[in-house]
Amino acid sequence: MDKQYDRKIISLLVENHSGVLARVSSLFCRRGFNIDSLTVSTTNDPSISRITLTVHNDERALNQILLQTARLVETKQVFVLDEANSLQRELLLLKVASDVHNRAELREIGSIYKAKIIDLSPDSMVFELTGKPSKIDAFLNMFSEYTILEMCRTGVTALERGGMHQHMQKPAEEVRAAQLPLSGCSIT
C-alpha cells in the first residue's frame, strides 16, 4: 500500500452523551472515509468518552477531517496516535469447524498464538484472542485452510505509552495547533 495511505489511528476525547458517536461517524461518512474500525468507551472521567478510529486515507483528506472533527462542540481533543509509541489491542472471537480429525491441529495453532478455547462442541471450536492487529491478522491467516464458521473482531483500542502526555495536559486548541496539519502536508 502506498505510504500516503498507511493506516492511521485517531483518538478523540468527546463529551459522553447521546448522539456524539453518530455525529462523529456521520462526519467521516459524509467526507468519503471508510472507517476500518471504531471503538468507544468511557474514560476515567465519566463525562468524557474515548473514540478510537482506524482509517486509511491520504494525509490531506485526513487533515481536513481532523480539523472538522475538532470543531465539533462535543470534541475535547483529537490526536493521531503514533503506532511506534502506542499500545494497540483488538479482541477476536473465531468459530472454526472441527471434528476428531483436525481438533489437535486447531488446538496447536491456538496454543502457539496463546488463544483461549472458550467453547468446544462436536462440530466446532471457538477461540478468543487478544493482541495487536498484526497478531490477529497472522492468527486468521493460519486458519485460511480451515472452515471459518463465524468471526467477530472488536476493532482497535489504543493508548499512548508512558505517563500523562502533552495532549492530555494542554488545552485542546493548543494541541490541535501543534499537531495539525500532519507532517508534510499543508492545508489551504
Query: CATH no. for residue 117?
Result: 3.30.70.1150
185 assigned to some structural domain:
no
Q: 121 and 167: one domain?
A: no
State the total domains in the chain: 2
Q: CA-CA distances (angstroms) from residue 113 to 51, 149, 178?
A: 28, 20, 40
Determine the structural domain holding residue 37 and report its residue range: 3-81+161-179
**Residue 2's pLDDT is what?**
45
Task: Take residue 102 and report the three cell numbers written for it.
Answer: 483436525
Q: 167 and 103: one domain?
A: no
> CA nearest 124: which of 138, 143, 103, 93?
103
- Contact between residue 117 and residue 127 where contact means Cβ atoms under 8 Å apart: yes
Q: CA–CA separation, 188 vs 186, rounded Å?
A: 6
Q: 68 and 23: one domain?
A: yes
Strands (E), 102-147: 116-121, 124-131
Per-residue pLDDT of the chain (188 residues; tens, 9 = 90+): 444 567 889 999 999 999 999 999 999 888 888 888 999 999 999 999 999 999 887 788 888 888 999 999 999 999 899 888 899 999 999 999 999 999 999 999 999 999 999 999 999 999 999 999 999 999 999 999 999 999 999 989 998 888 765 555 555 555 445 545 554 443 33
